[in-house]
A and B are shown apart, each in its own frame.
Chain A
Amino acid sequence: MGDIAWHRKDLLSIYDLESEEISLILDTAEEFKKVSERNVKKVPALRGKTVVNFFVEPSTRTRMSFELAEHRLSADIVNIAADSSSLRKGETLLDTVRNIEALQIDLIVIRHSAPGAPMLIAKNISCGVLNAGDGAHAHPTQALLDLFTIREKKGRLRGLKVTIIGDILHSRVARSNIWGLLKLGAEVTLAGPSTLVPRDFEKIGVRVCHDLRSAIEDADVVNLLRIQHERQRAGFFPSVNEYARFFGLNETTEKYLKPDALVMHPGPINRGVELASTVADGPRSVILEQVTNGLAVRMAVLFLVAGCMNK
């Protein structure tokens, strides 16, 4: 009694988790958030553990957030970037991580452009593996910090209407968010051009909408995704300006929102494309709080996963 059901040495995707496990992470993160608000912003929970941050695909904010979370848990840290790793010399991914394992590393935080890379690693080595983003597949800690922020602001997730706007097709953030929101009882709407938000998504129990106003007018939360310019070059939409006019949240379209709707963005923002500065810096925006909460959520998952090592 009193001991919780967390038995995973890895955090690979939100899809794998039971709703109770997601709630447990969010509850645990609440206490870790307080650690960063103290004068002494550090606890000894991971003292003596070594974490490798293995970012095969470049990342600034997620890597920094994980690294700071590890520091605040007193872990020892090694950073490996793709261009400095032996992957460039032709070493296979599994050989690289087996070398990491041979150095008695406890946890690997990995970002990779290939979907499934973290799963492949987790199956083959005894270290704990945390997925920091794999291709268009999953970005579990981003979804967890989004869920945490919504729950903190709205007091609940069940029954809330959450709209995700943008390039859903190529987005691991969207996929992880969709699974997390559905598991915790929220209603999900996806919006954007039909080339980037195919109707197929309806099969998993979400609403697909190609009209911005109808997508956001009764939403409790609007989560905007970064529009990448290379998608225009690949022909998914005619121009960035046209995208901004039809799907951007700006002074005009913000009027469709409920007064207490939250505006979220995983960053980095394309100001003037998916989100105008007046909205990004306005009263509905919780974008910087998402960043703060990301640290707490990553401390929580590192703590929970580390607790399941050596078994």
Chain B
Amino acid sequence: MPEKVKLCNNFEIKAAINEIAHSIVAEFHGKTPAKEFALIGIHRQGVPLAQRLISSIEQHSGKCPELAQLDISMYRDDIGMRNSLPIIHETNIPFDVNDMAVILVDDVLSSGRTIRAALDAITDYGRPKLIRLAVLVDRGNREFPIRADYAGIDLTVAQDSKVMVEFGQSENDSSIYVTDWDKA
């Protein structure tokens, strides 16, 4: 069994999500109508994270931005180089992205390649007014010139390790683990 070490518990994750939600509200509340600002969760773990962020934003501001989900498999730059293809999840963007302020949401920011793909995907749906990036964990290791506008937790871990976020069914069930990359 690969060694899997728990780094953060649900309490710490909830605090980080609240902090991100607070910063988003500080940037957008009052300036951008709720209908012109939306969260787009990147499959897989960006989607439950975006859901939790939206409920936290609602608690802070009373406003509930829209939620979209995005799968970036068709935009990856490593087709044929991986052992198997990721399963394609549903992309569902229930609003017009043109002139919207959108916040891309993902669980872990590492190389930046997923975000590069997500930017290409989103811009194929239209021309948003602006795009921000919110991540729960920034673990460094960047390969592309991409940074997060909102990052909940900065982690310093070995380069060859993998940081994994797990969200359970309930809002009180989440953890962050680090495992050996090769064995994960």
Q: Which residues of A contact B (CB under 8 A)?
A: 2-7, 24, 27-28, 30-32, 34-35, 38-40, 42-46, 49, 73, 303-304, 306-311
Contact = CB atoms under 8 A, between A and B. Distances in A.
Contacts of A44: 74-75, 120
Nearest to B84: A3
Interface in B68-83: 71, 73-76, 79-83
Contact of A307 (B85, B89, B90, B125): B85
B79 A306 contact: yes
A43 B88 contact: no
B95 to A, nearest CB: 14
A152 to B, nearest CB: 14
A27 B125 contact: no
A106 B102 CA distance: 37
A4 B75 contact: no
Contact of B81 (A3, A49, A310): A310
Given A31-B88, A31-B91, A43 B83 contact: no
Nearest to A31: B88
Contact of B79 (A5, A24, A46): A46
Nearest to A300: B88
Interface of B: 44, 71, 73-76, 79-91, 120-121, 124-126
Contacts of A307: 79-80, 82, 84-85
Contacts of A32: 74
| Closest 8 pairs between A and B when the two form their complex, measured CB to CB | A307-B85, A43-B74, A40-B124, A45-B74, A3-B84, A309-B80, A4-B87, A31-B88
Contacts of A4: 84-87
Nearest to A74: B74
A3 B87 contact: yes
A39 B84 contact: no
Given A35-B74, A45-B74, A3 B86 contact: yes
Given A2-B44, A39-B126, A31 B71 contact: yes
20 contacts: A3-B83, A3-B84, A3-B85, A3-B86, A3-B87, A4-B85, A6-B84, A27-B88, A30-B90, A39-B126, A40-B124, A44-B74, A44-B75, A45-B74, A49-B80, A306-B79, A307-B82, A307-B85, A308-B85, A310-B80
B85 A304 contact: yes
Given A40-B124, A45-B75, A307-B85, 13 more contacts: A2-B86, A28-B87, A28-B88, A30-B90, A35-B74, A43-B75, A45-B74, A49-B79, A307-B79, A307-B80, A310-B80, A310-B81, A311-B83
Contacts of A30: 90
Nearest to A73: B74
Contacts of B76: 45
A38 B80 contact: no
Contacts of A310: 80-81
Contacts of A7: 84
A1 to B, nearest CB: 9
Contacts of A303: 74, 79, 85
A38 B125 contact: yes
A45 B124 contact: no
Nearest to B123: A40
Contacts of B79: 45-46, 49, 303, 306-307
Contacts of B126: 39
A300 to B, nearest CB: 8
Nearest to B44: A2
A40 B74 contact: no
A2 B79 CA distance: 16
B80 A306 contact: yes
Contacts of A31: 71, 74, 88-91
Nearest to A309: B80
B87 A2 contact: yes
Contacts of A306: 79-80
A116 B82 CA distance: 30
B33 to A, nearest CB: 24
Contacts of B121: 43
